[in-house]
Amino acid sequence: MAHAHHHHDDQAAYYLEQLCTIALCGALGGVCVLLWLHTYVWPPPEGQFSMLSLMLDPRFHTAVLFGGLGLLALVAVRAVGVWVESGRAVAHTHDHDHDHAHGHDHGHDHTHCDHDHGAEGHEHTHAHDQVHEGEAHDHGHEHGWNPLRYAVLLLPVALYFLNVPSKGLSFSEIHQTLEAGKSVAVKERDNVLDLDFKELKSAASSSSMREYFEGRTGRLKGQYVPSGQEKVFSLIRLKMRCCGADAVPADVVILAPQPVSGLKSMDWVEVQGVIQFNKRANRNEFVPVLQMDKISPTAPEPELYMQ
């Protein structure tokens, strides 16, 4: 019977779509929860960073967890709904095939409604794809099997299981063009300050702070990035406000007395040197600079990004 065949094709597409939606949304929800668990419950070994902390600022971590749990809850309820619907549809299709042996057309697509189809001359006015029990309004859905949508949706799930991203943003080289600074008199060489990027960046924009720091000796820990010049490189910390899309390097320029060798870009190092501030060429901005005395490899900071 042509009519019944048409019904079964649409029904198959509808259930295929529903099953794919449930599977993909469930997978995405599961990945969100796993991302959180691998950050807070099963954190990575020291010196490594969880995927979630590479991607997002901690303020968003709880939102990812709740987003994932919400998605899983939606999927669970929907799975039960589809299970019940499919059971009804199977029972109904048997009756339906029998009742429609006379060959009249109901003009609707799905067979999982349970109102009476037996009466001859009965007219349906549904303009939608799917009719629920007792309902006469449509939900504004497009049902139909569209594999491309699911292929796109699968992408973040696949990337998670391929364990990417596994590293923070990285840079091959950072070029800085600085104006020549005035010579700096060294102060209190034995008193070595423990510096951080935030403090130095903040000091660079304040004349009194620049005056305080200039000539003092400080120690700074960060990631090594070459500049293309032998005796100049940058020490950076990644700064992220929101997500990886806005992550930028906060950098301090290091002037080395000799070319530095044996380091790869993004290696963690500690540099000790005399602090100065040079004006960035063509910008109304000072850059902190260290005239390097010592450099040594070091362990990564516990947090990849600074706030």
Partner 1 sequence: MEKYVENFILIFTSIIYEALPFIVLGSVTAGMLEELVPQRFVTRIIPRSRALAIAIGGLLGLVFPMCECGIIPVMRRLLRKGVPLSTCVCYMLAGPIINVIVMMSTWVAFSAPPDFNKDQSLTVPGGQLGSAEMVSLRVGLGYLVAVGTSLIVEWLYKRHGNNLLLPLAQPTAGNESDDNGGPRRRLSNITETALHDFVDITVFLILGAFLAALSRQFLSHSDIVDLSMKNPAVTILLMMGLAILLCLCSEADAFVAASFTGLPAAPKLAFLVLGPMMDFKLYLMYTRIFRPRLIWTIILSVVVQVFVYSLLTHFVLQTWFTPAADGGAG
Segment 207 to 236, residues that bind partner 1, using CB under 8 A? 207-210
Q: Does 264 bind partner 1 (CB under 8 A)?
A: no
Is residue 214 a contact partner of residue 299, using CB atoms and an 8 Å limit? Answer: no
Smallest distance from partner 1 to CB 127, Å = 8
Q: Does 124 bind partner 1 (CB under 8 A)?
A: no
How far apart are alpha carbons 89 and 19 in whole angstroms? Answer: 15
Place of tokens 């034995």: 190
Among 135, 194, 230, 267, indicate the residue that binds partner 1 (CB under 8 A): 135
Q: Does 74 bind partner 1 (CB under 8 A)?
A: yes
Which region, judged by CB under 8 A, interacts with partner 1, from 2-10, 115-123, 139-147, 223-231?
A: 139-147
Q: Does 136 bind partner 1 (CB under 8 A)?
A: yes
Total residues at interface with partner 1 (CB under 8 A): 76
Q: Give the total residue count for the chain.
A: 307
Among 4, 33, 153, 306, indicate the residue that binds partner 1 (CB under 8 A): 153
Q: What is the DSSP string of 126-195?
A: --SS---TT--S------S--HHHHHHHHHHHHHHHTT---S----S-----BPPPPP-----TTSEEE-
How far CA 75 is from CA of 52, 82, 251, 265, in Å, comes to: 23, 10, 45, 44
Among 55, 236, 269, 271, indicate the residue that binds partner 1 (CB under 8 A): 55
Which region, judged by CB under 8 A, interacts with partner 1, from 92-100, 223-231, 239-247, 295-303?
A: 239-247
Smallest distance from partner 1 to CB 64, Å = 6
- Within positions 89 to 118, which residues make up the interface with partner 1, using CB under 8 A? none
CA 243 to chain centre: 7
Q: Does 238 bind partner 1 (CB under 8 A)?
A: no
Q: Does 156 bind partner 1 (CB under 8 A)?
A: yes
Place of tokens 């749990």: 69
Smallest distance from partner 1 to CB 41, Å = 18
Q: Which of 278, 301, 293 is nearest to 200 (CA)?
A: 278
